[in-house]
Amino acid sequence: MADNSAGKVLLVDDSAQVRAVIRDTLKDVFPVFVEADDGLTAIKAFVEERPGFIITDIEMPSINGYRFISTIRNMDDGRDVPIVMLSGNKDSLKKKLTGFNLGASDFLIKPFEREELLARVKSLLRMRHLMDELKEKNALLEKLAVTDDLTGLPNRRHFFETVREQLALGLRHNLKLACMLMDIDHFKAINDTWGHVAGDDVLRKIGALLASCKREGEILARFGGEEFIICLFNTDSENALRAAERFRALVKTYDFSSVYYPSIKVTVSIGLAVYPQGALISIDDLIKAADKAMYASKVAGRDRVTLHEWSAPPPATDKAPIIDK
């Protein structure tokens, strides 16, 4: 069973006798039976008990089986739950069609053969199981598509998607946004001296360090080889500088000792650009500015933070604001 609710079945029938037969037939399939003798009670039971399977009569007092099914199918949690309908054999074709149109998964005419009910229920459960597996796989694929393999951080693609949303919001709400680009100093030397396993280890450790120290709402991603990027929201340049200094000092004082290399010192150069600065700019421009500032940090001796100073409004750009390669 995929989850707890999958072992729970909701039996809806105004006949206690029919419910007893169903219970007996399916006692080896479902560990838990929830019962209701009319549609209204059944809706309440569905909401409270979250069963993973429903067997329902059509002709019942208060709310009948049709209305019960359409109510369930209109609920978020009720869209996928298998529903078997039961009905007397009068007008069975019409009832069957109505039931299927409302979202029933299967239909049985009373009186039914126990073996047939059992077989149909098992077949629906198999299908449900396959669907659950598919959903899980899709969720995993979606996660993998936006996750950096090595560090487990969001990747560049996820960064652009999220920042684009935030930037759109920011434009509407006059939000301030700071972009911090961080590059590990002399990373090539680490790889050359201690090997790529050591280099990967440093990247993983910095990723974990940044992830544990970033504040809620900040967007952190591995941007490229040895580059990390962080977006801070609602931040002016003073606060952004303070945050950048905090990250720089964190990396510098972190104990990177490892089985792959002796205790080594790792530092980062950081470039910072703050938005908005007079003119509206794109994310591309903001990152470009942060990159320039980061380069200035390198030139000035590394292990430092540089804030990009906008000398003039950045040139207007007519290309799409987001690149993602």
From the list 1, 29, 40, 59, which residue makes contact with Mg ion (rule: CB under 5 A)?
A: 59
Q: Is residue 161 annotated as a catalytic residue, yes or no?
A: no
* 89 vs 212 by CB, closer to Mg ion: 89
Listed ranges 8-16, 116-124, 285-293, 304-312: which one lies at the site for Mg ion (CB under 5 A): 8-16
Report, in Å, the least distance between residue 125 CB and Mg ion.
Answer: 24
As beta bridge partners, residue 12 has 36, 56
Four-residue CA torsion sign, 108, 111, 115, 118 = positive
| Residue appearing with tokens 């409270």 | 48
Nearer to Mg ion, 89 or 253 (CB): 89
Which residue of the set 165, 226, 238, 245 is catalytic?
Answer: 226
Nearer Cβ to Mg ion, position 16 or 93?
16
Kindly list the distances between the CA atom of residue 150 and the CA atoms of 192, 207, 265, in Å, as whole numbers in the listed order.
Answer: 19, 9, 21
> Strand (E) positions, 8-64?
8-12, 32-36, 53-57
What is the spatial distance between Cα 303 and Cα 325, in angstroms, rounded to a whole number?
Answer: 28
For residue 83, the minimal CB distance to Mg ion (Å) is: 16
Touching Mg ion, residues 9-48 (CB under 5 A) = 14
* Nearest distance in Å: CB 58, Mg ion: 7
Site membership for Mg ion, residue 57 (CB under 5 A): yes
Number of helices (H), then strands (E), belonging to the chain: the values are 10, 10
Q: Which residue's CB is nearer to Mg ion, number 13 or number 291?
A: 13
* Tokens (6 digits) for 271: 């470039």
Candidates 73, 16, 62, 23; CA nearest to 39 is 62
Q: Which stretch binds Mg ion (CB under 5 A): 53-61, 123-131, 231-239, 274-282?
A: 53-61
Identify which of residues 55 and 283 has a Cβ nearer to Mg ion in the complex.
55
Cα 278 to Cα 321: distance, rounded to the nearest angstrom: 17
Q: Which is nearer to Mg ion, 14 or 227 (CB)?
A: 14
Q: Is the peptide bond before 111 cis (omega within 30 degrees of 0)?
A: yes
The answer to whether residues 161 and 216 touch, using CB atoms and an 8 Å cutoff, is no
Q: How far is the CB of 11 from Mg ion (least distance, A)?
A: 12
Task: Output the smallest distance, CB 55 to Mg ion, in A.
Answer: 12
In the complex, minimum distance from the CB of residue 39 to Mg ion, in angstroms, rounded to a whole number:
11
Instruction: List all residues 6 or more positions away from 15 whose beta carbon is below 8 Å from its beta carbon.
Output: 57
Residues 6 or more apart in contact with residue 5 via CB below 8 angstroms: 50, 51, 52
Q: Which residue intervals of 153-265 are DSSP H helices? A: 156-173, 187-194, 196-213, 237-253
Q: Binding residues for Mg ion, per CB under 5 A?
A: 14, 57, 59
Question: What residues act catalytically?
Answer: 226
